[in-house]
Structure 1
C-alpha cells in the first residue's frame, strides 16, 4: 500500500460528517485476507444532472483495471446543500450486482463542504 492509498483510507476513517460510518474494524474485516489493496477516488460536479450515473461511469472504468476483485470499500461524499437521494443510489446498486463473482462490500457516506460528488474506492 502506498502513501496515497493510506491517505484515502485515513480520509474515510476520519470523515467527521458521516451518515453511514466506516471504521477501522470495517476496513480490517473487509481486507483481512491480505493482498494488494488498490485505492483511488473519482468525482463529478454535484450540480450535474445524473451525477451519480456519471460518478458510477468513472468507477466502472477505473475498477476494470483491477478485475478480478472480491472485496470493495466505497465511501461517498456529497455537499451538505445537495444531499444524495435514495433514488440516486440505483446505479450504485446496479454496479454491485454486475461485479463478476462473489463480492464483499462495505460502503459509507458523509457530507462535505465541496460542491462535488466524490467516491473513495478501495479494491482487493
Structure 2
C-alpha cells in the first residue's frame, strides 16, 4: 500500500459528516485476507444531471484495471446542499450486482463542503 492509498483510507476513517460510517474495524474486516489494496478517487460535478451514472461510469472504467477483485470499499462524498437521493443509488447497486464472482463490499457516505460528487474506492 502506498502513501496515497493510506491517505484515502484515512480520509474515509476521518470523515466528520458521515451519514453511513466506515470505521477501522470495517476496513480490517474487509481486507483481512491480505494482498494488495488498490485505491483511487473518482469525481464529477455534483450539479450535473445523471451525476451518479457519470460517477459510476468512471468507477467501472477504473475497476476494470484491477479485476478480478473480491473485496471493495466505496465511500461517497456529496455536497450538503445537493444530497444523494435513494433513487440515484440504482447505478451503484447495479454495478455491485454486475461484478463477476463473489463480492464482499462495505460502503459509506458523508457530506462535504465542495460541489462535487466523489467516491473513494478501495479494491482487493
User: Following TM superposition, by how much is the alpha carbon of 1:28 offset from its aligned partner in structure 2, in angstroms?
Assistant: 0.1
Separation of aligned partners in 1, 2:113 and 2:83: 11
Alignment match, 1:15: 15
TM-score of the pair, normalised by structure 1: 1.00
Gaps of 5+ in 1: none
Gaps of 5+ in 2: none
Indicate the RMSD between aligned Cα atoms, in angstroms: 0.1
SS in 2 for 1:122: strand
Separation of aligned partners in 1, 2:3 and 2:12: 14
- What are the superposed Cα offsets for residues 4-24 of structure 1, whole Å, 9 maximum, x if unpaired? 000000000000000000000
Aligned length: 124
SS in 2 for 1:95: helix
Alignment match, 2:74: 74
User: Following TM superposition, by how much is the alpha carbon of 1:44 offset from its aligned partner in structure 2, in angstroms?
Assistant: 0.0
SS in 1 for 2:12: helix
List structure 1 runs of 4+ shifted beyond 4 angstroms. Answer: none
Separation of aligned partners in 1, 2:100 and 2:24: 27
- What are the superposed Cα offsets for residues 92-123 of structure 1, whole Å, 9 maximum, x if unpaired? 00000000000000000000000000000000
